[in-house]
Amino acid sequence: MFGINDRNELMATIIDGEGNRTEYFPYAAFALEGVEYLVLRSSEPGIGEEVLVLESQEDAQGQRMFSLAQTTPKLQELILQGLGLSYGLIQ
């Protein structure tokens, strides 16, 4: 679920299978081999920063939806190097 928080920032709320809610903020968006990806990072205090990579897909009605991306070595390398993750800028 995407929305605007009280600080007027774009954010996504991810709800896990147990009903826990975590806020994530967009970090990057890119396309690789015709597939669009969205990189989100968490801001949850106390758990450290977590990075999620979502893959854009269309449902049967043509609506865009996002799901966790299946990482491949090429995608992982692109994210690590291209976004500075391999340099410890984000953990």
Structure confidence by residue, pLDDT tens digits, 20-69? 888 888 888 888 788 888 888 887 555 567 778 888 888 889 888 888 88
Residues whose CB falls within 8 Å of the CB of residue 2, separated by 6 or more in sequence, listed in order = 10, 11, 12
Tokens representing 24 are 């994530």
**3-class DSSP state of 8:** coil
CB atoms within 10 A of CB 66: 18
> What is residue 91's predicted lDDT score, i.e. its pLDDT?
42
CA–CA gap between residue 66 and residue 57 (Å, rounded) = 6
